[in-house]
Chains A and B, each alone.
Chain A
Amino acid sequence: MTVDRRQFMRLAGLGGAVFASALARAAEPMGRAGAAQTYGAESDEFFFVQLSDTHIGFEGAPNPDALGTLPKAIAAVNALETQPDFIVFTGDLTHTTDDPQERRRRLALFRDMVGELKNRNLRFMPGEHDGSLDRSAAFQEFFGPTHYTFDHKGVHFIVLDNVSDPRAVLGDEQLAWLQSDLERQSRDARIVVLTHRPLFPLYPQWDWATRDGDRAIELLMPYRHVTVFYGHIHQEHHFKTAHIEHHAAKSLIFPLPAPGSLPKRVPLQWDPSQPYRGLGFREVEAEVPAAYKLAEFPVVKA
C-alpha cells in the first residue's frame, strides 16, 4: 500500500479540513511511501504554510489568550510531520496603535515570536493595522519591502501591498510595477498572489475590498494559472473571479462573522468551552502543473 503525504497526515491524525482547489487535478498525486520524509524531493511539488492576522498587541474579551495564540500556532507548525518549504504571513502581524514606539515594540515582539519557528524561510507583508498609519515605515524597518516577488520551484509569487495607503489602494505606481512584472511571465506561468485585503469587492459595506483591486485582477486575468491567498477577513473564504481563485485564511486572534451575516463586523465571542474556535492556519500544497490543495489546521487539536 502506498500512502501519499495527505493520507499519511490523516492516518497520523494531523490533518485539518481539506479544501481541494477547483483547479486541482482529478487524481491524487502519485502515492509515495515514506512521503513525510521525501515529499517534493523529486518534483516541483511543494507546500507552504499561510498564517494570518496575528494582531500582536490586541487585548480584549474576544481572545483572552491573545499573546499565547501565536506561540501555540507556531508549536503546531513546528510539529508538522514535514516542514513546509516556506511560511507566509499575510498581514496584520500586529494590532494598530497610534504610538510609533509601541508599534515598533509590537513588531519586535512579533519578530521574536516567529523566531521560534523551525522553518527560517519566512515571507511577510503588512496589513492595515501594521502599515496604514505610517505608510508601513515601521514595518519596513523590520521586514523590508511591502511588495515584491520571489520564485519557488516553478511558481512565481507576487506580494501586493494594498494597505500602506490608508485608502486601501494599490496605487498607480505599484500597478505599473505589477504590469511590468507580469509582462515578463508567460501566459502559462504558475502565479500566486499574496496580499492582505481581498482584491475583489467581497463585502464593501465592511470595507472588505481593495479600491483599485479590479485593476490588479484585470492585469492578472490573461494569465491562465493565477491563485490569490489573502487574510483580513479572519475566516476561511473561497471565491473566483473568472478563472482566478481567491482564498482567505483564518486569523490567529479572533474570528469575524461571515460577510453581511450580522449588522456589524464585530469579533465573534470567545467560547470558553471551545477555546481558539475559528482560529487556525493552513497548508497550501502546490502541485504540478498548477493546482493547489488547501488543508486547514486548528491552533490546538480538539
Chain B
Amino acid sequence: MKRREVLSVALGTLFAAAGVWAVAAPHTQVRRIVARKFTYLPNVVKLKKGVPAVLEFTSADVVMGFNCPDFKIRTDIIPGQVARVRFTPDRIGTFVYLCDVFCGDGHEGMTGKIQVVA
C-alpha cells in the first residue's frame, strides 16, 4: 500500500470515529446563559435527568459568578470569555443557582433555577 493510501485509510478511520462522536454529541444538553446585572437570561434552565449537560455562560457587563450548590458546580463568568460547566443532573427537581461574585446593588436577587425532569 502506498503511503498516500495508508494516510487515506487512517484519515477515513479517524473521520469514522468522529462520526460516531457526532452521533453521540446530540445527547449532551447544551444551554447558553447570559449573565447581566442583575439577572440570568434565561433564569430557568430545563434539563433532563441522566443526560450530560453543558452550561455555557457569557457576561454582558461585569465579572459574575454561577453557583449551584446542590450540584456542587460553579464558575466565574468573565466578560469576553465563555465559561462552561459540565455535569450530569442525577436528581429530578428544582435547584437554585446564584451569582456568588458580588456585582452591585441587586446582586442578592441575581438567581435562577435549574429544573430537572425525567
Contacts and interface: CB of A to CB of B under 8 A. Distances in A.
A133 B63 CA distance: 11
Q: How large is the interface on B (under 10, 10 to 19, 20 to 34, 35 or more residues)?
A: 10 to 19
Contacts of B111: 264
A46 to B, nearest CB: 34
A166 B98 contact: no
A264 B110 CA distance: 10
A97 B98 contact: no
Interface stretch (B47-55, B85-93, B101-109): B101-109
Contacts of B65: 167
Interface string B79-100: 0000000000000000010111
Nearest to B105: A96
Nearest to B95: A205
A266 B65 CA distance: 20
Contact of A264 (B99, B107, B109): B109
Contacts of B43: none
Contacts of A207: 67, 98-100, 108
Contacts of B103: 166
A53 interface: no
A128 interface: yes
Contact of A167 (B69, B100, B108, B109): B100
Contact of A128 (B70, B96, B102): B102
B108 A168 contact: no
Contacts of A168: 100-102
B105 A204 contact: no
B56 interface: no
Interface in A154-193: 163, 166-168
A97 B101 contact: no
A195 B102 CA distance: 17
A204 B101 contact: no
Listed residue (B98, B102, B105) with the most chain A CB atoms within 10 angstroms of its CB? B102
A132 interface: yes
Contacts of A166: 63, 101-103
Interface in B56-77: 63, 65, 67, 69-70, 76
A296 B76 CA distance: 38
A19 interface: no
Contacts of B100: 167-168, 204, 207, 211
Contacts of B76: 167
B113 to A, nearest CB: 9
A97 B102 CA distance: 12
A166 B103 CA distance: 8
A153 to B, nearest CB: 35
Contacts of A264: 109, 111
Contacts of A167: 65, 76, 100-101
Contacts of B105: 95-98
Contact of B67 (A96, A97, A204, A266): A204
A97 B108 CA distance: 14
A266 B108 CA distance: 8
A277 interface: no
A132 B102 contact: yes
A95 B108 CA distance: 12
CB-CB nearest 10 A-B residue pairs: A132-B102, A204-B69, A166-B102, A128-B102, A205-B96, A96-B105, A166-B101, A167-B101, A207-B100, A205-B69
Given A163-B102, A204-B100, A207-B98, 4 more contacts: A167-B101, A205-B70, A205-B96, A265-B108
7 contacts: A98-B104, A128-B102, A163-B102, A167-B101, A168-B100, A205-B70, A264-B109
